[in-house]
Structure 1
Amino acid sequence: MVDTVNDDTELFTIGELARRTGLSVRTIRFWSDSGLVAPADRSTGGYRLYDTGAVARLELVRTLRELGLDLAMVRRVLARQATVRDVAAAHLRALDAEIRMLQVRRAVLRWVVRSGSTTEELRLMNKLARMSAEERQRVIDAFVSEVFEGVDPHAPGAHLAEAMSALPTELPADPGPEQVEAWVELAELVGDEGFRQRTREMAVAGARGGEQQPQGPDPERIAEHAGGAVRDGVAPESAAGGEILGRLIGPELSAEERVELADRLATFTDRRVERYWHLLGVLHGRPPMPPRVPAFEWLIAALRAHARDASAS
């Protein structure tokens, strides 16, 4: 039954309002008790009555709730403390973040289906893959801060700090299993004490000045000749290894200079550090670079093995 306050204002009971809006009586009563839709009057029997404006207000509340807004935010919108546009934009960002999270979880499941895993491996994969961008960056920043503490940011070689902190702020929109795996491996790597100590050793040595950098053969020549020796299985200490070494260094280097060069090259040669750069490349979607550390390791071994040849000559 419809009552009227005057001839121009039509009023509805909660039941009538429910039929008009499709909402349940219980929901309308709850929103009314929460102050979102206030009654315009009460009947002679004390029942709440609502005007036509309540219909539009209820439709707006329903839309905002379906967007995921809590009651406090709905109340702000209705009180015009926040515009629907601003709230929609905020929830769009939240929805985008949720979609990204679901995509990461899908990538994790793909990895599990493809490779299989133990329960512990799956737990770790989910934990690390579900980290927020801020949490992921915090892990890398803590690593870089520890490794480069006290290193002059303007010193030669100190630019490595900036390069090593270049973790993407977000995983790709639809990360592949290899990118999820790369993030997990990277997080484990920077958490390894031995890796942090080794990286700091390189950072400190690199910051001492240009004279401390290894002045050896051109890296491209090392990749060509020493890398070729690795591929062909040429032992560094063999006569053939000595011939290849002769293409990379001059005969004028003394035994002591060869050992010194080997030691300096070894300071900046580490497979795990190279792996760090590779993993960053995977996360950035860059094509993989061929590994160079094996070629440098061969050269270092060859320099030490043939140092006595130089002293005998």
Structure 2
Amino acid sequence: MRCTAEHHAAERAQGDTTTLRRDSAAMVRDQVGPALAAGVDPASPQAGPIVAAVTAQYAHVFGCPDDAGLRDRLLTRLETANDPRRDQYLQLLAVINGWPAPGSLAPVFDWFIQALRAQATAREAVRRG
């Protein structure tokens, strides 16, 4: 959670003054959930449009180009958010506040992280020729 808070603080320090925006975790969950349920391999060509949809939406929300730098930042953010302690924290918040317990996003994050890495590897292989 500390790393996640530090990433948010760094974005704000770099001039990100938006107040409310759709959470990147929700963006990934909404796009990746159906692919995960359908058994799409994150390293397959079928994962490409899903990754493209998430990164395009992320770029739009954050007002930056959908490029390798954005994908690297998103990968870092999701690797940080994929910490099991995040799920524990959210479970505790639910108990304390009397909310329904949230489902774990770890499977969705794992899938998307694998897909981002697979695409980065494929792009690098093409670049090297």
Partner of 1:205: 7
- 3-state SS in 1 of match to 2:46: helix
Distance across 1 between alignment mates of 2:22 and 2:72: 12
- 3-state SS in 1 of match to 2:10: coil
Distance across 2 between alignment mates of 1:260 and 1:223: 17
Which of the two has greater helix per residue? 2
Matches within 5 A, 1:177-192: none
Distance across 2 between alignment mates of 1:280 and 1:217: 17
Matched, 1:231 2:44: no
Matched, 1:290 2:106: no
Distance 1:271 1:231, change over 3 A: farther
Distance across 1 between alignment mates of 2:10 and 2:108: 25
Q: Give 1:276 shift.
A: 1.6
Q: Could you say what the CA RMSD is over the residues aligned between the two structures, in angstroms? A: 3.3
- 3-state SS in 1 of match to 2:74: helix
Matches within 5 A, 1:149-188: none
Q: Give 1:261 shift.
A: 2.6
Q: Give 1:291 shift.
A: 2.6
Distance 1:212 1:223, change over 3 A: farther
| Contact persistence 1:265–1:300 (CA under 8 A) | yes
TM-score (structure 2 length as normaliser) = 0.62
Matches within 5 A, 1:1-313: 199-210=1-12, 211=14, 219-250=25-56, 253-310=66-123, 312=126
| Contact persistence 1:235–1:241 (CA under 8 A) | yes
Distance across 1 between alignment mates of 2:67 and 2:54: 14
> What amino acid maps onto 2:99 in structure 1?
R
Distance across 2 between alignment mates of 1:216 and 1:307: 25
- 3-state SS in 1 of match to 2:102: coil
Distance across 2 between alignment mates of 1:212 and 1:227: 32
> What amino acid maps onto 2:105 in structure 1?
R
Distance across 2 between alignment mates of 1:217 and 1:262: 14
Partner of 2:59: none
| Contact persistence 2:43–2:119 (CA under 8 A) | yes
Report Cα offsets for 1:250-294 as digits up to 9, x if no partner: 4x7444542343123322332221222113312432112233343
Distance 1:201 1:260, change over 3 A: closer
Distance 1:207 1:254, change over 3 A: closer
> What amino acid maps onto 2:41 in structure 1?
A
Deviating runs (4+, > 6 A) in structure 1?
A: none
TM-score (structure 1 length as normaliser) = 0.30
Distance across 2 between alignment mates of 1:256 and 1:203: 20
For structure 1, list consecutive stretches of 5 or more residues without a partner in the other structure. Answer: 1-198
For structure 2, list consecutive stretches of 5 or more residues without a partner in the other structure. Answer: 57-64
Distance across 1 between alignment mates of 2:37 and 2:49: 16
Distance across 2 between alignment mates of 1:253 and 1:217: 17
Higher relative CO (CA 8 A, sep ≥ 6), structure 1 or 2? Answer: 2
Partner of 1:156: none
Distance across 2 between alignment mates of 1:307 and 1:220: 22
Report Cα offsets for 1:57-77 as digits up to 9, x if no partner: xxxxxxxxxxxxxxxxxxxxx
